[in-house]
Amino acid sequence: MGNMNGSTNTSTSSDTGVERVAEANLPTEFGLFRILGFRNHSTGDEIVALVKGNVSGARSVLVRLHSQCLTGDVFYSIKCDCGRQLHQAMKEIELAGSGVIVYQPQEGRGIGLLNKIRAYALQDQGQDTVEANLSLGFDADQRQYDDCAEVLKNLGVVSIRLLSNNPEKVAGLKSAGIDVIERVPIEVEPDDTTIDYLRTKKAKMGHILDKIALR
């Protein structure tokens, strides 16, 4: 993964035009990671990967695809489990000694930040997360994982263990040519604030959540 004293490399995937444009060390509360910045030249999207250890040519790499959630990741919203999942993934990868977090700019399951706030307003009126997205004219989940797959290919991982409760992520990566050999659960403890949100994920989106009982 290059040296650990800071450098800038460029490497482009011929499939999608996803280019590695920058990388540096990133010390965090959970340990030292390498942060790599990628750009999709077709869409202009910027994608970040946090990398622990040498994953090029490695098998069974622990990987988390994390969709950007400003409210959960930055403002510590307790409407969702996103921020807690991100921190749990960082802890688990640090403990494992190697792994990757691909941080993708698909806020609100792909509807964007401002539409996500509009969806929040509908949730304040009693809709769940799926109903709110549909009311705004979007699919329940509009995310695509092709760019994430190209980032993993660029990093040279051979096969992965995916930290996710969402079977659609597994299917999306497999269809994009990534060898997903295992889905690793990443559940957070439910509480009174998140329980209905998590029930919606399980009942309407097929997320595998063993800690959540449907009514």
pLDDT in tens, 40-95: 988 899 999 999 999 999 999 999 999 999 999 999 999 999 999 999 999 999 99
Active-site residue flag, 191: no
Q: What is the pLDDT of residue 194?
A: 86
Q: What is the pLDDT of residue 8?
A: 44
**How does residue 2 score in pLDDT terms, banded at 50, 70 and 90?**
very low
**How does residue 1 score in pLDDT terms, banded at 50, 70 and 90?**
very low
When the candidates are 3.30.750.24, 3.40.50.300, 3.40.630.10, 3.40.50.10990, the CATH number that belongs to 11-106+143-185 is 3.40.50.10990
From the candidates 73, 81, 128, 141, give the one annotated as an active-site residue. Answer: 141
Active-site residue flag, 59: no
Mean of pLDDT over the chain: 90
- In this structure, the dihedral spanned by the alpha carbons of residues 128, 135, 70 and 49, taken in order and rounded to 10 degrees, is 100
From the candidates 34, 39, 143, 199, give the one annotated as an active-site residue. Answer: 143
